[in-house]
């Protein structure tokens, strides 16, 4: 059902601990070898290649790669009223949180007439990827779009895989979510090819495409599988990216106070995403570990996507990790750097404050990851595969850049001119100093 890893009584270095912890066997480095030719082909062949790849990977050849306006109207008209209400509530909560994320500029006066200002400027255009293979993610539309809108980005484009059941267009619920958010530039393009299209643009090849199907963007964001993550790595530098958000993962740090049904249900909730999804329990309680194992079996076999869940739980990326104490557990989850980390221990809030490496932390028995996936108000596009050691989840900060503005008067520059000259000469760059001296 799920592997066990016993770290009790072991003293491991940071490197040894990272190597011991469960991870998916397919790594971004491996996927990049398969993705590189796709990126090159999209760049050279444009819409023709996008249609060929859709036929190859999605089983449908889209007539319209850019979604026509009528499809949004139809999708919104057919949306279940309860689903619409849930989408609108999520938009409201996510918008409230992300509005508070807007960074503030500042002005520093270093001396009379010597001023440095910083202002935050949104990027001009973003490409937002919404996966749509094994599941449908209108929630990811919201997470991407709202963050970009609250950052003030003037041009937004969304891409999501074409669906055979929807005449080669993205899923109707995806289109309805876009309509509710006021986004009308949406492409029926999935996977690594969507990242390539955003990074380099794509020329049209059929009448309905126009001469240019899609203009290039400045930043690409959004979750996806390991191939999407690999594509983002390969185009980084051509465009900005949020993080290499690959297949989902959950880690739960729990002690004997945790409820085994809660823990098992939460592990399964993320395993439901993908057979390669990672579900990891770190616990100091052997009793809890045993109880969770028993519940996993019952719950996994009875859930709708049982085959997918069972495969994910039995994979090398999932495990129950036994530790001596919550203290050791903190070290383990910090080394793991989970996309989603639940804290189900006594004094969970205090334990959460000691965690440095996680995409998002969910505190206590009533803050499950499923809450964050939808209506917590936080963003569910988060770094995976250990990238939480250096990357943040998606937010307003993903779509803005800091611009520094320097303004000195003649007197202010004159006061430090000799020091600048000295510094320039010390670096053997005398023309730098001369550029100051010439003004006096």
Q: Which of 244, 272, 339, 342 is catalytic?
A: 339
Torsion of CA 119, 98, 230, 50, to 10 degrees: -100
- Answer yes or no: is 373 a known binding residue: yes
* DSSP 8-state symbol, 72: H
> Is 101 annotated as contributing to ligand binding?
no
Tell me whether residue 218 is annotated as binding: no
Name the residue with tokens 């100051």: 436
Give me the helix-helix angle, 260-271 and 306-314, nearest 10°. 100
Looking from the CA of 321 toward its CB, the CA atoms found within 13 Å total 32
Residue 317 labeled ligand binder:
no
Residue 432, annotated as binding a ligand: yes
Q: 273 among the known binding-site residues? A: yes
Q: Cα–Cα–Cα angle for 311, 313, 318, nearest 5°?
A: 125
Looking at the DSSP bridge assignments, the partners of residue 321 are 5, 282
The answer to the question of whether 248 is labelled as a binding residue is yes
Radius of gyration of the chain (CA): 25
Two tokens, residue 108: 């520093």
Distance CA 188, CA 66 (A): 6
Contacts of 375 (CB under 8 A, 6+ apart): 86, 89, 90, 93
Is 340 an active-site residue?
Answer: yes
Is 150 annotated for ligand binding? no
Q: Where are the alpha helices (DSSP H) in 63-166?
A: 69-77, 81-99, 138-151
Catalytic residue among 98, 340, 380, 397: 340
* C-alpha dihedral, 387 to 390 to 395 to 399, nearest 10°: -110
Q: Annotated binding residue at 340?
A: yes
Whether 353 is catalytic is no
Which residue positions form the known binding site for NAD(+)?
Answer: 129, 193, 225
Q: Active-site residue numbers?
A: 339-340
Which residue positions form the known binding site for Zn(2+)?
Answer: 270, 273, 373, 432
Which residue positions form the known binding site?
Answer: 129, 193, 225, 248, 270, 273, 340, 373, 427, 432
Which residue positions form the known binding site for substrate?
Answer: 248, 270, 273, 340, 373, 427, 432
């Amino acid at each position: 059902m799920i592997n066990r890893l016993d770290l009790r009584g072991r003293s491991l270095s940071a490197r040894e601990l990272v190597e011991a912890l469960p991870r998916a066997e397919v790594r971004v480095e491996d996927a990049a070898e398969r993705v590189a030719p796709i990126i090159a082909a999209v760049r050279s062949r444009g819409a023709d290649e996008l249609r060929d790849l859709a036929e190859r990977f999605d089983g449908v050849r889209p007539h319209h790669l850019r979604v026509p306006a009528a499809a949004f109207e139809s999708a919104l008209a057919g949306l279940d009223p309860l689903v619409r209400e849930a989408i609108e509530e999520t938009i409201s909560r996510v918008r409230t949180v992300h509005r508070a994320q807007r960074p503030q500029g500042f002005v520093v006066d270093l001396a009379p007439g010597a001023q440095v200002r910083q202002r935050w400027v949104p990027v001009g255009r973003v490409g937002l990827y919404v996966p749509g293979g094994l599941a449908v993610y209108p929630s990811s539309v919201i997470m991407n779009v709202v963050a970009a809108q609250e950052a003030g980005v003037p041009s937004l484009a969304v891409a999501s895989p074409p669906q055979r059941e929807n005449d080669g267009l993205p899923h109707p619920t995806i289109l309805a979510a876009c309509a509710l958010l006021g986004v009308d530039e949406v492409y029926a393009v999935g996977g690594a090819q969507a990242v390539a299209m955003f990074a380099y643009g794509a020329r049209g090849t059929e009448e309905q495409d126009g001469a240019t199907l899609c203009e290039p963007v400045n930043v690409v964001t959004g979750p996806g599988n390991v191939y999407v993550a690999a594509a983002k790595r390969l185009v980084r530098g051509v465009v900005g990216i949020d993080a290499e958000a690959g297949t989902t993962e959950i880690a739960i740090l729990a002690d004997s106070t945790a409820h085994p049904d809660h823990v098992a249900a939460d592990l399964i909730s993320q395993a439901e995403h993908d057979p390669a999804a990672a579900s990891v329990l770190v616990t100091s309680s052997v009793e809890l570990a045993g109880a969770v194992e028993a519940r996993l079996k019952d719950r996994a076999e009875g859930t709708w996507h049982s085959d997918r869940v069972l495969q994910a739980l039995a994979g090398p990326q999932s495990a129950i990790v036994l530790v001596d104490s919550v203290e050791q557990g903190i070290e383990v989850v910090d080394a793991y750097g989970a996309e989603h980390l639940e804290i189900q221990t006594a004094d969970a809030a205090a334990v959460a404050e000691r965690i440095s490496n996680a995409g998002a932390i969910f505190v206590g028995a009533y803050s499950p990851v499923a809450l964050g996936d939808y209506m917590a108000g936080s963003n569910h596009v988060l770094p995976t595969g250990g990238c939480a050691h250096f990357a943040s989840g998606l937010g307003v900060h993903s779509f803005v850049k800091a611009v520094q503005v320097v303004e000195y008067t003649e007197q202010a520059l004159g006061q430090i001119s000799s020091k600048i000259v000295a510094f320039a000469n010390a670096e053997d760059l005398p023309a730098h100093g001369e550029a100051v001296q010439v003004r006096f």
